[in-house]
Structure formats: C-alpha cells, structure tokens
Structure 1
Amino acid sequence: MNSPDVAVGSSPVWLPANQPTQFYAGGDSIQALRGVGNARTDHGPEDWVGSTTTRYGKETDGLTKLADGQWLRDAVRAHPENWLGKAHAARFGGDPAVLVKLLDAGQRLPVHCHPSDAFAQKHMGSHFGKTEAWIIVGTPADGGDVHIGFRGDESGATVAEWVAEQDTAAMLEALNPVTVRPGDTVFVPAGLPHAIGAGVFIVELQQPTDLSVTLEWKDFLDSEAGGHLGFGYDVVLDCVDRTGWDADRLKRIVRHTEDSSPVTDLLGPDAASFFRAQRVRGGAALDPSFSIVVALDGSGTIKTESGDVPVTKGDTYVLPHAAGEATVEGDIVAIRCLPPAVTE
C-alpha cells in the first residue's frame, strides 16, 4: 500500500495499529474501528498514530515503525522539510510537535494532569509539556462520563492530603462531572486535573510527551513513584491547576460541533498554538501540511500532488507536507490532526 520511498516523506503513508502496553484496560472500540485482526484489545487501549514520541522512560516503545523497518521519528529527522515543511522545521526542527492517539477507555482512568511547557522545562528536562484535546467519537448509549477541573478553588495542602491518603472519593467529588457524546470536543490545558470514564472512545491530540502527574495512583500504578515520575509529589503537585472551573469556564473548553461542511475546525483558536484538528468529508480541499488522518466512517480517496490513496473506515494515514495540496472524494468522514499553526 506504501511506495518504496516511504521514509523520504514525499507521499501519504498508510499506518497499521501501534498499541504500546498500558497500565489500564481498553475496550473493543479500536478493534471495531480498524477491523478484527488489525488491532488488539489486551491492555492496548491506546493506538499511537504516526508517533515520533516514546512512552515515558522508554527508548523506542510508542514509536511508529514504517514499512521499510525505519522509525518514523528517524525518517522525519532525516527529511524534516519534506515531512514537516520549511517553516515548521525552522521552528521545531525534526519534531512534528504533536502526538495523535486513539484512546479507548475500557475502565475509568485515574485522576491526573499534565505539566505545562514552562514546568516541564524547569523540572523535567523536556521542551514540551502536555496540553491535550479530546475528540469524542464513541460513548455508551446514554453518554460518557468525564471529570474536568475542580469545582472550586482548592488549596495546595488539600490536594496534597488527597494524594497522600489516596482519597479517590474526595478527588472525584471535587471535579466537575461532564457528560460527553460523539461530536463533542474537550480542550484540556496543561495542569487541568481530569479523568476519563469507562466506555469513552476518543481521538486525542496532545503535545509530544508522555508526562502525566497521576494524583490517583493506587489500584492503577505499581507504585507511588510512577505517579510523580520520580520527581516527588512535593515537586510535581505544583503543576496542578487548583483554580475553580465553573460552568462559564467549562463552556470555553467543552464544545459540540455539528457541521456537514467539507472542512470543520474542531478545536478553535485556543488550541492552535498547540495543535489543530478538522473534521473532513468528501469535497474537502486540504492545504499542504504534515497531518495524521483517522477515517471514522465511509470510504473515499485522498488525492494529493504525489498520488492518490484509497481511504476507508478505520484507516490511518500520515500525510507529509511535501505531498502538497490534497482533495478528499467520496462519502468518507475523517479527523485530520495537524501540528501547531506556524506562519510560512
């Protein structure tokens, strides 16, 4: 399905499932989307699509491997302008600056948050923190449960006590319960405490790290050290957003976009400096950009300057910048995930 020069970054590349083992259970949504035999369900709840990012503390786990056996990460570093475009490469080097996942929560995820760029640079030796966003593509019939942001301001001492005692009930009670349904999106700024409920299936965009501060580690992680990544809770709890999130604040980050246009922006301007996402359909005209395409329904064709590729439900592709302008044909519905906006 891919051309011999797959690593050069000149044409679209089809991607198989890439499911590193995680600490929590998945459901059957990734397999149902991709097709039986193309994905696994045993503790592979995340499909890291077109990943140049490794799991925390790992050398290669999480990386996408191309058909020629090379890591996509190394191919992008070798040909950054082909894959990413001149302007992006000038700013970020050979880093796409975005990680895309399919996340299938077979159980409720623990209460956790992620550091900001500034916090990660100061304490963790990472250029990027981990702001993220969720595009909801599946839930139980009556909607999915997520918990986002504290209902009111909380003191550092209170949060530290919850973590020390592993008081799950208090943590969840302090968070806003939000019901989500397919078509909803949630922008999750760094520091915002959150948990995703069982049965929620998302396309997740995030900054390219695996940095998580797990407030609720008991019954999820092997040890407390995994919760604070070895830095100590006295350090990492300073990254937690302890301010209150009322209904008005939540409306800024939880959206529903019902639109049959060929191209629909899903995340809005607040996310654009971190990543962007579009729902694309037949008739869409796409500008040149590194992008990850996740086909959710239907079938069709993506026509690029470097060639055409067939796309059907469950397919995932990485489109290099050098593939040029593209058009989408057919009854396909897909999510197009893009890096931060960079001016040419």
Structure 2
Amino acid sequence: MKLYPLKFTPIFKYRIWGGEKLKTELNKKYTAENIGESWEISDVSGDETIVEEGSLQGKTLKELTQQFKGDFVGHAVYEKFGEEFPLLIKFIDAKTPLSIQVHPSNEIAKKRHNSFGKNEMWYVMQADTNAELIVGFDEKLSTGSYKKHLENNTILDTMHHENVKKGDTFYIPTGRVHAIGAGVLLAEIQQTSDVTYRIYDYDRVDAKTGEKRDLHNDLAIDVIDFETHENYKTAYQIEKNISNELVHSPYFKTNILEINTNVEKDYSNIDSFVIYMCVEGSVEIIVENESYKINNGETILLPAAINFVSLKSENAKILEVYY
C-alpha cells in the first residue's frame, strides 16, 4: 500500500477555559461548548488521531508507524522512538486564561509518568486587543520566596507578561513556568506528552465538575527553572517562498513559509515525516500529480517516504514541522 499526504480527524477537547474560535476562526466542526483544544495529530494513549481519507482511512497514527516504520516516520526517527510518534500537534483557543503551569523534563517525566517530557512552542494565530502570554519570571526567585508567593496568591506578580499579536512565537522548554492568556488562539507543537503540573488556577471552579481543579505544587517544585531571561519571544525573519527557521530544538524543528507562488520542496535530505500546519490562507499540495489542499487551521502529514512536493498558493503561511 502506498503512502500519501495524510489528514487526520481532529480530537476536540473540552477545557474550562475554552471558547468558540476553533469554530469561528478555524472552521472546525463540533457542537460542544468550551472546546479549548483541537488535537490535530496525536499518538497519546487513548487519544490517537485517525486518518480521515484515502486508502488508509481509519488507521491510527500508531498503526501507520507499526505498518510502515521508517517509510512513515523516517528511519532515524523509527530507530530512536520505535512505534512512539514523537510529536503532538494542536490548535488552542483560550477564552479565559489557562492555569499557570510547568512541564517536567524527559528524565523526570519518564521516571514519574513513563512519558516523554513536554518541550513545546507556540505560534500566535490571532489575539484580541491586549491579549497576553505569561512566560517565565521577571524577578529572580529562591525556592523559599516562590513558595511564599504561592501562599499569598501573588505568583502572577513575579511572572513575565507579554502582550502578543499574530505571528508572535515562543519556545517553552521544560521547567519554564507559563500560561496562555485570555483571547489568544495559537498553534502548539510539542513532544507527545499530556503531563502538566498546575501551579495556580485563579481559584476557579470547573462548571462540569463543580469543583476546583487539582494543583500539583509538590511535583512542580523541583521542576521549575527560576532563571530570568531578557527575552522570551523568538526572533525571526521571513523571506517569501522559502523555509525560514522559527524554532529548532532537540525535540522538533519548525520553519515558517510565506507562499505567494509555486514552491518546490525537496525533502530527500530530511530523514523524517514533515507536518504542515496552515496558519493563514490556503495551500495546494501536489505529490506525484495528486493534489491535496489545506486551509487556515488545517494540518497534513507527509510521510518520510515522500521527498518531492509542490506547494501552490497566492497568499498563505504554513508551519513546516519535522523531527
């Protein structure tokens, strides 16, 4: 059976802070309320996305990796991760703020949860006026002063708040305390992990359960990086119709392409799958004379066996993600 560019059926997640933008801005189809996340490509146990169309329709990400191995994920990727797909791809809509949170490293996540750690990045797709992200600290804290701020509910005062607009990009390594603020719609690329330690949650009650959500401060305390940094935002430049580096980390590489013509891509030197997330406009993807299309808010995966791709658009931006 032949591999081809694959769209997956998204998994929609209720969140206490979720809104309507996945529907109104990204044209996602669902009826539930407070949907905060669209899991586009996921191998998280119990939340595996399945192929939407074509001869492989109905197969999960896991089944594709098992069946096609290196031809699907890349031979080096398969050698390193086996049947574990290394990335989780999402769109996130925060109508109200997310909890202040932190993610553990690979080593700690493996030991405590038998999971990958959760290094991640954000690309802002839309932001309301004065919307902000919270990333890292603005003042140097000791463990003791941090605990005091937690007790006094003043932890927000110590953190770095940044007003954001479309196109702003942040890399969030494990250990960096962070939160998405109200009014932000973004694309998130992360390791395959659902391990989050909540530090502070505004004392709010989840309408679904009638209870406050659990905090994980005992687990979080030895994970947090208390270092302060001058800049938390990722600086980048865009030259049209080529891949521009956005975030290259040991866990994933993400480029941005702004396309207004026909672009030929040769992936023969990348031993990895490639994921396109459309973050503006729409793009036609041509592989072996077959045409596929993604619109703003859609995602497609190119198996590693596909080396040559033509991209056509009059005006689009896509994130290009690979291992």
Same topology, TM > 0.5: yes
Q: Residue 91 in 1 paired to residue 80 in 2? A: yes
Contact 2:12–2:35 (8 Å) recurs in 1: yes
* Identity level (%): 23
* CA distance in structure 1 between the aligned counterparts of 2:205 and 2:119, rounded to whole angstroms: 22
Whole-Å separation in 2 of the counterparts to 1:327 and 1:143: 38
SS in structure 2 of the partner of residue 239 of structure 1: coil
In structure 2, do the counterparts of structure 1 residues 154 and 39 end up closer, same or farther at CA, with 3 Å as the change threshold?
same
Matched, 1:295 2:278: yes
- Match for residue 52 of structure 1? 43
Give the CA RMSD over aligned residues: 2.5
State the shift of 1:259 in Å.
2.0
Is contact 2:61-2:85 (8 Å) kept?
Answer: no
1:125 and 2:114 aligned: yes
1:144-159 correspondence to structure 2 within 5 Å: 144-159=131-146
Verify: 1:115 aligned to 2:76, yes or no.
no
Q: Which has the higher strand share?
A: 2
User: Contact 1:111/1:171 (CA < 8 Å) preserved in 2?
Assistant: no
1:179-198 alignment runs, 5 A limit? 179-198=163-182
Residue type of the alignment partner of 1:243: E
**Cα pair 2:275 2:322 within 8 Å, conserved:** no
In 2 relative to 1, CA 88–220 (structure 1 residues): closer, same or farther, beyond 3 Å?
farther
2:204 is matched by which residue type in structure 1? D
CA contact (8 A) 2:278 2:318 kept: yes
Question: Is 1:216 aligned to residue 188 of structure 2?
Answer: no
Residues 20 and 225 of structure 1, relative CA distance in 2, 3 Å threshold? closer
Quote the residue 1:244 is aligned against: 228
Change (3 A) 1:324 1:220: farther
Equivalent position of 1:28 in the other structure: 20
- Alpha-carbon offset, residue 91 of structure 1: 1.6
Is the Cα contact below 8 Å between 2:94 and 2:185 reproduced in 1? yes
Distance 1:160 1:306 in 2: 60
List alignment gaps of at least 5 residues for structure 2. Answer: none
Q: What TM-score, normalized to structure 2? A: 0.86
Distance 2:48 2:35 in 1: 14
Report the Cα offset of residue 213 of structure 1: 0.9
CA distance 1:305–1:323, change in 2 (3 Å): farther
Instruction: Quote how far apart the aligned CAs of 1:267 are.
Output: 2.6
Unaligned runs of 5+ in 1: 55-59
| CA deviation map 1:122-161 (0-9, x unaligned) | 33322x2111110111101x34211111112212223334
Q: Tell me the residue number matched to 2:312.
A: 329
Q: 1:16 aligns with which of 9, 18, 22?
A: 9
Shift of 1:162: 4.0
* Equivalent residues of 1:132, 1:205 under 8 A apart: yes
Deviations along 1:41-65, one digit per CA (max 9) or x if unpaired, are 61221111111124xxxxx1x3212
Quick check: 1:149–1:176 contact (8 Å CA) kept in 2?
yes
Match among 250, 254, 263 for residue 242 of structure 2: 263
Structure whose residues are more often helix by fraction: 1
Find the aligned partners of 1:27 and 1:266 in 2 and give their Cα distance: 31
**Which 4+ residue blocks in structure 1 deviate beyond 4 angstroms?**
220-225
**1:106 maps to 2:91:** no
Question: TM (normalized to structure 1)?
Answer: 0.81
**2:250 maps to 1:273:** yes
Q: How many residue pairs get matched? A: 309
* SS of residue matched to 1:158: helix
- The separation in 1 between residues aligned to 2:212 and 2:19, in whole angstroms, is 26
Q: Distance in 1 between matches of 2:181 and 2:9?
A: 26
Aligned to 2:190: 206
Deviations 1:224-250 (A, max 9, x none): 88432xxxx4343100112233x2xx2
